[in-house]
Chains A and B, each alone.
Chain A
Amino acid sequence: EDKVVQSPLSLVVHEGDTVTLNCSYEVTNFRSLLWYKQEKKAPTFLFMLTSSGIEKKSGRLSSILDKKELFSILNITATQTGDSAIYLCAVDQAGTALIFGKGTTLSVSS
């Protein structure tokens, strides 16, 4: 059965800390891996990764994919309270819909 597993399920850090969120997957016909941020409403797109070893970066957020070991990480440096959210990992299989992990709930305290 295709699956996407995220860890940890929840995380509490202090402002300024660096966090690493993990996503592993077992799917057929892998096409890409996506990260989303979900605050109170709908998930919003962060990154799409298709190639191993190429880091995607946006401000304090970065992500990388390892297609050999079937995982991805999302790093957030110098965390801020505004980073508090659920971070969702999803895998795109060619010809089907996204499969999501259960998410990591990040809480950043001031």
Chain B
Amino acid sequence: DAGVIQSPRHEVTEMGQEVTLRCKPISGHNSLFWYRQTMMRGLELLIYFNNNVPIDDSGMPEDRFSAKMPNASFSTLKIQPSEPRDSAVYFCASTSRGGAYGYTFGSGTRLTVV
């Protein structure tokens, strides 16, 4: 298994532009999580899905952020419009058994908004 695959690995964009981050979870995993990591705040949960259904999006900072999971093998996190304070590393993780045991993280997307 190739693990959790995220793209792009790095993204540099100008303030106000739309940014789309992509994630392919491990086949067979039914839970998917989006986290954001910064030096100041550490790893923060943004949203998670069980069986493609969003369960908790209370961590999504504001309406500029949206996430979708149209099928079991693909999820996107979109920021529109982007702002400099969105600069962070965004991680996707997946797991099976509907819970936290055995999270596997992707390599992350480093987003820089200038």
Residues of A within 8 A of B (CB): 31-32, 34, 41-45, 48, 88, 90, 92, 94-103
Please provide the chain B residues from 73 to 114 with a CB less than 8 Å away from any CB of chain A in the complex: 91, 99-103, 105-108
Among candidates A42, A45, A99, residue contacting B45 with C-beta atoms closer than 8 Å: A99
B18 within 8 A of A: no
- Indicate with 1 or 0, residue by residue over B41-75, a CB within 8 angstroms of chain A CB atoms: 11111001000000010000000000000000000
By secondary structure, the A interface counts as strand
- What separation, in Å, do the CA atoms of A95 and B102 have in the docked complex? 15
Q: A97-B33, A99-B45 are in contact. Are A41 and B107 (CB under 8 A)?
A: yes
Q: A45-B102, A94-B99 are in contact. Are A100 and B42 (CB under 8 A)?
A: yes
| Contact A98 B42, beta carbon cutoff 8 Å | no
| Contact A48 B48, beta carbon cutoff 8 Å | no
- Which range holds the interface residue count of chain B? 10 to 19
- What separation, in Å, do the CA atoms of A31 and B99 have in the docked complex? 10
| Contact B108 A42, beta carbon cutoff 8 Å | yes
| Contact A101 B100, beta carbon cutoff 8 Å | no
Among candidates B41, B42, B106, residue contacting A42 with C-beta atoms closer than 8 Å: B106
| Contact A98 B102, beta carbon cutoff 8 Å | no
Q: A98-B45, A100-B43 are in contact. Are A32 and B56 (CB under 8 A)?
A: no
- Taking CB atoms, residues of chain B closer than 8 Å to A34 are 100, 103
| Contact B101 A92, beta carbon cutoff 8 Å | yes
| Contact A42 B101, beta carbon cutoff 8 Å | no
- Taking CB atoms, residues of chain B closer than 8 Å to A96 are 56
Among candidates B42, B45, B99, B106, residue contacting A95 with C-beta atoms closer than 8 Å: B99
